[in-house]
Each structure stands twice: as C-alpha cells, then as structure tokens.
Amino acid sequence: MTVFSLLFALLLEQFKPLSSEYRAARWLQPLADKLVELYDDGSVRSGRVAWGLGVIGLAVASWLVWWALWWVHPLFALFFNVGVLYVVLANHADSRAFGDIVVQLAAGNTDRACELLGQWRGRDHTGAAASEIARVGIETGLVTGHRRVFGPLFWFVLLPGPAGVVLYRAAEHLAEAWRERQTGVEGEPSHFGEFARRAFDVIDWVPVRLTALAFSVLGNFEDAMYCWRSQSVLWPDRASGILIATGAGALGVRLGMPVHEEGVVRDRPEMGIGQRADVARMEAAAKLVWRVLVLVILILALLALAGWVGR
C-alpha cells in the first residue's frame, strides 16, 4: 500500500497540482497561531505542551481515521493515504518557482529572477547578481526538496498509515512558525518555540543524513562526502548545512557566500567546490532531486516486492 499510495499521490500532484489555498501550510498555520494564543506563557514547558497537542495530536488523529477506514475496507484507507500525501507532498509550487527563476536567468532577466526568488523565499534579495540568485535558488531547492518530499516520505514508511508524514510536516511547520517568537507575555523573552525546534531536529536527524547520502551517491561522491565532513558544521543551521554542503559537492558547484537579503549583505560561509552557480548548475540540481526521488521509489518498490515474494 505504501508504494501505491506514493505513486498515486505523485502522479496526482503532477497532473493536477494542488492549489495553494489547500496546501498543508494553509491548514497548519491557523493551528500554530491558536496554540500560541492558548498556551504561550514564554516557558519551554508551555511550548512542549502545545507541540504535543499540535504534532502528536494530529499524527494520532490521522492514524485513527486511517485505521477506521481500513477496518471498513482497505481501499478506503488507500484513498485516505493518497489524499494526505497529495496535500503534504504538494511541492509543485516550489518546482514551478524554481523553474521560473531558471527561465528568467537564462533569458538574462536578472531583476525579474531576483523578484521571483524573493517571492519564493519570502525575503527581499534586491541587488543580487545572477550568480547569487542561482546560488540561493539551488540552496533553497535542495533544502525544500528534502523537507517537502524526502523527509516526510521517511516517516511515512516508518509509521503506519499517514501518521508519519503528518508528524513530520506538522513538526516542521511548527518549528518554523515559532522560530521567530523571541518575545512572550509582557515583552519578556520567550522560550516557547525552543522545544519545537529541538524536537524537529531530532525528527529530521536521520532523514537529513539519508537525503545527503543519496545526493552523494547520485552525484560526485568523493567531493560530496568531503564537503559534508568539512563544511556542513560551518552553516548556522546544521541540518540545512548538511544538505547544502553535500548537494554542492555532489554538483561540483560553490554555494553559500555573502548574499543580499532584506537590504543588507549577509555574510555566510562558502559551501561546496568547483564552478560558480549558474543556470546549468540550477538545472543539474533539479535533476539531482528528481533522481533521488526515483531512487526512493525504486527502493520502496523492491522492498514491497521482496515482502510479497517472501510471503
């Protein structure tokens, strides 16, 4: 059922992309805001309680619905799995944003490409040159590909029904939504979001490294592993650093380095080795992500086949 659910959801996403108003983030953000309103007193404990209700609660609820549908008929459970995956793995908008940036850069429309990059990331990159836009685009594509597809799929395989994919997506969203909460009640420092960030780091620990390993195997393995070992620790967010450093090494491209962001030039460490980022490297990055997805599907199909043969 796992392989069929995944294939149906991916095909549905390709031929009938989900509208942005129905994507998981649009449903999770009101929940994140409500949990803040009800539980945020600035303490780590309140964040832990809110996280448990929001993440564990959603995961258990999705499993209960799936189990009830399975009890009625397995086909209903399959449809439910496909529906949840369709919503959670809805990355067509990200793929389209990445592709639009590639098109504009290839046409020499740097200003338009910069505008599209800002819309995609939700940050102002005014003043960025073509190479910088390509660098940031590749970085965002590698991290987004993991968090929207490969990370959720790991937990989908690990836990029954859609519980794993819901767990991962909810944990990722709450960690991001509460990341900037530095001020709590009466203007005092808030630690409300700390547990959500730590919990997601734990949940994502294995998936990040499996994705990075896949980048290495399907790209330049030696350079990817070198960059992983020597450069990933330099990035502020360790998980993103692993993905960016390994992806850069696998592609033979230099990422990181200073960027124009929100009106200032923000310094960042250099990641990767090889060529400057350009349109060709962006296209190579997109192909790398797709190859990883094909590899994941093949592995799941082989595991399912082995299970059927062994019965």
pLDDT by 10-residue block (mean), the chain, 311 residues: 82 76 76 89 89 96 96 93 88 87 94 93 90 96 94 93 94 89 57 92 97 96 96 93 97 94 90 93 96 91 78 62
User: What's the predicted TM-score (pTM) here?
Assistant: 0.92
Q: Residue 81: its pLDDT value, please?
A: 93
d(CA 237, CA 243): 10
145: exposed, middle or buried (Cβ count in 10 Å: 0-12, 13-18, 19+):
buried
248: exposed, middle or buried (Cβ count in 10 Å: 0-12, 13-18, 19+):
buried
Q: Residue 254: its pLDDT value, please?
A: 95
**Backbone torsions φ then ψ of 259, nearest 5 degrees:** -135, 150
Pull the structure tokens for residue 224. Answer: 């990817």
Residue 256 · residue 225 · CB < 8 Å: no
For residue 196, the one-letter residue type is A
Q: Residue 273: its pLDDT value, please?
A: 93
Q: What is the 3 state secondary structure string of the chain?
A: CHHHHHHHHHHHHHHCCCCHHHCHHHHHHHHHHHHHHHHCCCCHHHHHHHHHHHHHHHHHHHHHHHHHHHHHCHHHHHHHHHHHHHHHCCCHHHHHHHHHHHHHHHCCCHHHHHHHHHHHHCCCCCCCCHHHHHHHHHHHHHHHHHHHHHHHHHHHHHCCCCHHHHHHHHHHHHHHHCCCCCECHHHCECCCCHHHHHHHHHHCHHHHHHHHHHHHHHCCHHHHHHHHHHHHHHCCCHHHHHHHHHHHHHHCECEECCEEECCEEECCCEECCCECCCHHHHHHHHHHHHHHHHHHHHHHHHHHHHHHHCC
Residue 269 · residue 231 · CB < 8 Å: yes
Q: Residue 310: its pLDDT value, please?
A: 65
